Structure 1
Amino acid sequence: MQDIHQLLNHADGIEIANHLKNKAFSPAELLDTVIERAEKVNPQLNAINELNHEVAVQSLENIDLNASALAGVPSFCKGLFTLSKGLRMTNGTRALGNDIAEIDDNFITRYKAGGIVIAGSTNSPEFGTSFTTESSRHGAARSPWNLAHSSGGSSGGASAIVAARVVPFAHATDGGGSIRVPASCCGLFGLKPSRGLMPIGPYVGEGWAGFGTPHAVSLSVRDSAALLDISAGTDLGAPYSAPPQPASYVAELDKPLKKLKIGLYESVDRWATSEDVKKAVQFAAKCCEDLGHDVEITRIPVDYELFFNDFFNIMAVNTADYVGHIGQMQGKPVDLSLLDPRNRTFVEAKKDTSAIEYVNSVTNMHILGRTMAEYMKDFDVILSPTLAREPIKIGEFNFDASKSLEDISDAFHAYAPFTTVANATGQPAMNVPLFWNDAGLPIGVQFAGRFGEEVTLLQLARQLEQAVPWIDKIPPVNAIF
């Protein structure tokens, strides 16, 4: 299987799938190789919660290698609020047991219909409420670029295994930056789609008042586009829907892209941006100008103090509500000592929030969405950092019980003040890995587009990927044989 190993070292999912279609090897051989690679590197990364060969083999039964551009390629399901039949869904918490999902949710159903083989689940922080993947249940997921650093959150496990070349892409979700932050930490492409574009049913109507959406992290832009071709589209009964989508995102990638007007901002109010991050943003701006686009300094119309107060109100209230839901399922209130201190603080601080307070926060977010839509009439794309500094070290966000909601909020905002706005407004936004600092750590940049205009972002990312290729940047901790 050495030839498969060599392919997995440098190829994206579409290239691997093409080898399958040409019968260079079988889907079963590819799966066995992926599992071998996962077993090699996961003891160092702690990125995979469950590696389930039996479930994966079931996905191979009656597989149609013509079902999609990625058919037959193994991947992983993020272990957070996502049902994948036969896998445990722990949501990163000790408050849940080891219940096995009896069905696939709508998103995973579409992946499997597209021939993607689900080989297990990846590590995520408890309830997805952190920009680092560390929990008392599953431990810390580490960056393959430097094991002392976090792989980001909340899709940290997914990002670590893709960067380490276990698989070329992995399912991820994003409620406040949880695709883009770990993609930045691990040197990957990560797109958060527009609100309403992706299915999240059948049991859930929205996550965090419409902030949350599933998609993926990937080595290449075209894999991300191919995954949209497989999974995008409103599902039955969804409360939101995005504008009409193209017949194929992959087919749109290499079509001519008009000259873009790109707005640039590199700092947010009182939260400082590091020099390495400023270098990354300026490098990205220069790349865009070299491609023929106009870049103009701007400042987006956001009152960040009000915004972050409303964001944490919505996130923490939803966390408290979910903990109450666990208690209802279990027939008794959840023992809060089972929760990680961060979430215990959220629950205790927000459990008595009034309906009026909550609705006011949601209303403010809707107002912001309208404001940003008007503002985006002047810009095709907004460029900013993804994070305000390099990836944090393991343990920096291990808040103890003495930390207040305000302490936790300030720490999160100082690290990642840029990503959450796109969740609130519903705009698509992506992390693009163009820059590594002198310590060898990836420093991503974020591009946000107009609502429903994923194609513009993908085409720009494709241009940048061709101008400054990143797929051959392989971290020192990897699954290479």
Structure 2
Amino acid sequence: MDVLKLDAVGQAQAVRDGRVSARELAEAAIAHIEAHDGDLNAVVHRRFERALAEIDAIPPDAPFRGVPILLKDLGWRQAGEPYSGGSLVQDGVENAVDGYGVVRLREAGFVLLGRTNTPEFGSTITTEPVAFGATRNPYDEAYSAGGSSGGSAAAVAAGMVALATASDGGGSIRIPASLCGLVGLKPTRGRVSLGPSMGEGWSGFSCAGFVSRTVRDTAAALDVVSGTYPGDPYAAPALPGPLAGEVGRDPGRLRVGFLTAHPRGDVPEVPELTEAVTAAAALLESLGHDVAPGGPEALGETAFTEHFGAIVADNLAAHVAGLGELRGKPVELDELEPRNAAMVNAARRRGAADHILATQWVDGFRRRMAAWWSAGHDLLLMPSLGVAPFPLGWIPPGDLSIAFGRTSHAVAYTSPVNATGQPAISLPLHRNPAGLPVGVQLVAAAGREDLLVRVAAQVEAARPFEHAALR
């Protein structure tokens, strides 16, 4: 039995059945990381000895006892462990306390092996930080694993672990999931607490979640970490029950709209993305759903990019200011990567009123988007990424005009869903002619992760996902 090729639910069952011990499972994952991460550069902080020493203290009835997991090195704070956020400025900072999500992962019995690579402050779609170097895609090492959860996605796709934590402020779960052939669910805003060190990320755009190889892993893992704590700024609508229980449940006949071209008009249509969405639409129709072209008119609003970008830049500037206070001297722009330096500089020139006006515009956008679901639609099907799979270096650090333009196209289908706070899931249903994964995403109304899991599991059963990059 190659236990590392099992998903996390399967690994947990293997431990319970006595087919493998918790220690043997963790040691197998460690050996796999040591054998393959030199090529991929997915894991930037390792805590193997400490992780093994913690296994004996895991309660025998913990549901994921002994299952190894990696934490994204952005959010997902772990007490006493280094925290870099992909940045030389932040590298070496140690967290004082566990984040609530990490507490719940420990309580569930996961073995925390280390932290995965991310771009500086998670602000772009490819994981190529100056601090740690590029993470390579297990399907083709010349290609990007995506960002900002690229290290987590590469590790899972290569079989180092079955499950890794991630986060998504503009597509950072769904984009790496698309590029690495994985399942990636961005939950509803407030489903997973970011406390105690944070109330919200990127003014509510950012959510915590996972990348995995199966729908049931994503559902079960979200069950572990979901929930609000006193003082959280948001509370997601209650689910009807555990998400793991939605796997295999009939979703009924759903009304699905789909888009193969972005209604904004400034995003080039890419043939392989069109093929992926068209094929997924046909699959959903064959499963009994009512599928037709169309989506929210609000997606075509050209002002979105400006307001979304301004809010993100303002948040980056605030984060950098906080790092300056932490270390006792301000962070200079030349200490940052050029992309972030430009965003922080632009934010410093804006006033507080400009930020409030941008958030008020997004408030209206969220209501205009929600109207499409309120009018009777259940799901929106779109590409997970607005561009084709791309090689490392495609987002050039030295040419910000090209970098920002390409990034804007890439997140055109994902960032609006961060602004609205709705849940969305990327599924690995297509490959391009070179054999690289191309994901499609399904977006549901706020609070309807249960519906996404039902449909995603139905799709997975009808067309099982292939994971050709497993090593």
Residue deviations 1:337-369 (CA, integer Å, cap 9, x gap): 221111011111111211111011111111111
Q: Structure 1 residue 58: deviation in Å?
A: 4.1
Is the Cα contact below 8 Å between 2:181 and 2:438 reproduced in 1?
A: yes
Question: What pairs with 1:259-274 in structure 2 (closer than 5 Å)?
Answer: 259-268=253-262, 269-274=265-270
Aligned mates of 1:59, 1:119 — CA distance in 2:
11
Question: What pairs with 1:79-118 in structure 2 (closer than 5 Å)?
Answer: 79-118=73-112
Structure 2 segments unaligned to the other structure (5+ residues): none
Question: What pairs with 1:39-438 in structure 2 (closer than 5 Å)?
Answer: 39-68=34-63, 70-268=64-262, 269-302=265-298, 303-377=300-374, 378-400=376-398, 403=400, 407-438=402-433
Equivalent AA in structure 2 for residue 301 of structure 1? E
Aligned mates of 2:78, 2:54 — CA distance in 1:
11
Aligned mates of 2:175, 2:410 — CA distance in 1:
10
Corresponding residue for residue 19 of structure 1: 14
RMSD over aligned CA atoms reads 1.3
Q: Structure 1 residue 410: deviation in Å?
A: 2.0
Is the Cα contact below 8 Å between 1:83 and 1:105 reproduced in 2?
A: yes
Q: Structure 1 residue 296: deviation in Å?
A: 1.1
Aligned mates of 2:383, 2:325 — CA distance in 1:
41
> Secondary structure, in 3 states, of the residue corresponding to 1:215?
strand
The normalised TM-score by structure 2 is: 0.97
Is the Cα contact below 8 Å between 2:383 and 2:413 reproduced in 1?
A: yes
Q: Structure 1 residue 53: deviation in Å?
A: 1.1
Aligned mates of 1:208, 1:453 — CA distance in 2:
22
The normalised TM-score by structure 1 is: 0.95
Q: Give the aligned length.
A: 467
Structure 1 segments unaligned to the other structure (5+ residues): none
Is the Cα contact below 8 Å between 1:128 and 1:154 reproduced in 2?
A: yes
Aligned mates of 1:203, 1:174 — CA distance in 2:
18
Is the Cα contact below 8 Å between 1:200 and 1:235 reproduced in 2?
A: no
Is the Cα contact below 8 Å between 1:35 and 1:51 reproduced in 2?
A: no
Aligned mates of 1:451, 1:335 — CA distance in 2:
39
Aligned mates of 1:31, 1:299 — CA distance in 2:
45
More displaced 10-residue stretch of structure 1: 340-349 or 52-61 = 52-61
Runs of 4+ in 1 over 6 A off after TM superposition: none
Corresponding residue for residue 34 of structure 1: 29
Corresponding residue for residue 439 of structure 1: 434
Is the Cα contact below 8 Å between 2:22 and 2:65 reproduced in 1?
A: no
Equivalent AA in structure 1 for residue 143 of structure 2? H
More displaced 10-residue stretch of structure 1: 371-380 or 161-170 = 371-380
> Secondary structure, in 3 states, of the residue corresponding to 1:20?
helix
Is the Cα contact below 8 Å between 1:87 and 1:121 reproduced in 2?
A: no
> Secondary structure, in 3 states, of the residue corresponding to 1:172?
strand
More displaced 10-residue stretch of structure 1: 57-66 or 194-203 = 57-66
Q: Structure 1 residue 300: deviation in Å?
A: 1.8
More displaced 10-residue stretch of structure 1: 138-147 or 246-255 = 246-255
Q: Structure 1 residue 185: deviation in Å?
A: 0.3
Residue deviations 1:272-310 (CA, integer Å, cap 9, x gap): 121111100011001100100011111322244211101
Aligned mates of 1:433, 1:97 — CA distance in 2:
33
